[in-house]
Amino acid sequence: MVDIVAPNKGKQLNQTPSPLNAFKRAESLELSKWYMGTLMTNLAETKDTNGAFLLVQGTLVPGTEPPPHVHSREDELFYVLEGEFDVYVGEDIFTVETGECVFLPRLKPHAFIIRSLQIRLLTLVTPAGLEEVFRDRSTPAKKLEAPSGALTYSQADLNQTVQRFAEYGVRILSPEEVAEQIPLYPKPLILSMPADLTTDQRV
């Protein structure tokens, strides 16, 4: 006779009720913001998950992609609700289409290029907290689609972008770093890094 041992036998399970509240939520104007030409809806953020994760639904169009960067704190997972994009992670490239996901570990430099007329994404970020970098720079969405004619990363003050993201452990890569760390990334970098950005200012 073979004895079957329960995997948790002898272990004390945590029976403390969670202080968090259950909820359901969907994309809505009340929750949605426009930021750098994208529509963003925080479906779950720090206050909802006690900092465990951030879940964002976003709508983006070509030209609104963020510059190549690397996270020191967060892992990310993109799930494509609609559309297609190429995701560059270090020396790898993934073409990700509707119904597919791609995982981006922290400390892995990455970037993406949208290949469809628009893309709708669910982005899971763990731990939470990164939503604060967008909060004071966004405006309430007036409709549930990406804004037309809005300021994008390529048009914004790169120095301000670099410094703002650095406060949250995200480093924007220089053109030289992109060429070395994301060698397959094809998009020309129109803007160069500000001359007064020293290594000490990067995190």
- Residue ranges of domains in the chain, CATH in brackets: 36-183 (2.60.120.10)
pLDDT digits (tens, 9 = 90+) for 82-135: 999 999 999 999 999 999 999 999 999 999 999 999 999 999 999 999 999 999
Distance in angstroms between the alpha carbons of the first and the last residue of the chain: 59
pLDDT digits (tens, 9 = 90+) for 142-197: 999 999 999 999 999 999 999 999 999 999 999 999 999 999 998 554 444 454 54
- In this prediction the pTM is 0.84
The contacts of residue 11 (CB under 8 Å, 6+ apart) are: none
What is the H or E stretch that residue 46 is in? helix 46-49
